[in-house]
Structure 1
């Protein structure tokens, strides 16, 4: 019902804050192979670092044997096992609870990545990498007392959230409040506070904030006793209320009204009514900015990628050697249940590919979205076996969705089953929780392709992988 309400929302057009030429330049910059793009350690700038300079600085730091040692093996499994032993002992001694034990356990450890942040405030053209610097200035007054004031690097730029940015209004209003309270807490005298407040007002005006908004934020900070701000805040009392979390967009309030309209339905459930708030709590995720688009924490080699050279094409390709090949379709795209939207396959997937989300369909054509961590051909053979054996099953409800459909519509003929690999999860050498990410990917395609029954063959929309 909520989904239907969302579809009724009129999608207004909006003006992009980047021109077409700027977006094309951004894409070209993102794909440059001879530079490394990182945020500056201080100041909020984005630095385009020549690759050879970045690599030279990384080698210089890694050669410091007092800080780094080259390993001959991957210690992750050993660390994981050692941690588990410590947690088991702590739980046995009642030092930690079972819940905390589970929270601290790491099922799928990831290899950390090393990267450097340029210290352009130290040297603007050949910056060393990643310092840790305080943002408070300490001085001693004439009576010998230590005074504190805000310190700002000469290379720091004005990176406060712009007043016209696509964020909820209460978030934008909170930015000046937080910054005025911050300088109120840091500045040990009223004179210092007033001076920093004037500077802060100038920077916020440059970012499009109104005089009314700034005056309100300043007055709140001015009237708050500094001693109160220096006190440690009591921890927030969390509740188990349901929240709606999504990317912010221009239809945020319309979405809120649509969800709140049907929220009382959950109140009728004997279990859920204890967790459903009277008023919906909506939380907006941070939107992508230029930093998220350009900066990569993991080092990418400058060696050309075979995919970029065009020697290996994206798509699904049967190997031509296995028994599953007649059922695996050679294709570079796929469409949703209504045939209205077409999507490109962005990986090179074969019968041998693992960690794959696949797209199975029949002459209807109804679609089933599934996943497999094993080779795709193994999962296809299992579906073919289930279809053949469906006629011998006494209880039809025990059959899997594809087998049940072929029993009722196609007399258990497995030759009519067609499969495409449409997506793949590859976490690289760092590793990670592939089953969870793969399940999230499967759930995404079930939703986008509308393959839930009765339009498709999927019986459930999995949400557990996102929890």
Structure 2
């Protein structure tokens, strides 16, 4: 007897989100581990001949009666994982994923292509803005799938005829479909199902770019000039194989016309960018009041945002009157982080690299240092942490300004935020 089981829910995760398949695999894997644990074994498991699962669909071969199978599914539903199951069973034929599995009178198991009655014609249209090689490969890959799924030749021919009509409706030419069909028909099904092909272990150079109408020109340029690189005695040691060109999806009209969330109205916000004193706190005296920042290397930096003492999410530069400097970041209000550096000086104590320097070189004088904003990371419109982005920008500025070398006061640099 065949049995096909489907779960109804996994802790409320919606199948369709990017993480859903991986989450469902892990979740049901944990449930399976507990189910097949000898400590919690059930007598019904002895009736299971074979058990196969693909994400949330389960196929099992059952040696018991139908009543025992119903009891077994009821047992499966009683779990601590909040999983609920529905079941379909048959002694002769069952549908599982895109396969129709049937038991032949001679005792062999046969498979054929299965399409749900509600399935639409969703094959990519031939006029879609995708690379031409990709579009030309779709008919052959679809015929190949049918060849692999169908045990009997007559079932393959029937499914191929239905596929031909669907592909024709999607704009594919008769000549392309005929060529793809003949190519798939000549293949041996056993070689497709039981392939002994060794995995490709090479590590090709991969060129990843956004797809555009100029993709043929890009390929032409590579074909024309790549031999020059491989002919060079020095470069050829590192450049040997022709690169694989991979295209990212280009922005669609939907991407260009629809935003994922409402933008914040900034029509009444101050337009002047730079670092400014808020004029309401005791920290203003330690904050620069300028549109630009003169960096330790002499460059002039203009921040793209308006930052005051009360701004949250700031990468800052602390500059001492003696030329020493420090790069830091804070996800709290700017004034609170500055107070962490300044307040201990009034008590003749040190807690940070900045106040240790001022204590040793300027006799605890807090007015020896000024703070300026280098970057501002606004809070995400949908919430969430900005820590990683702040750490990345802090690392960038430590690297640019060589802040770990004298007269810089930063003690270390870590590129871990980029990993």
TM-score normalised per structure 2: 0.47
Rg: which structure is higher? 2
Counting strand residues as a fraction of each chain, which structure ranks higher? 2
Tell which has more relative contact order, 1 or 2 (C-alpha 8 A, sep 6+).
Answer: 1
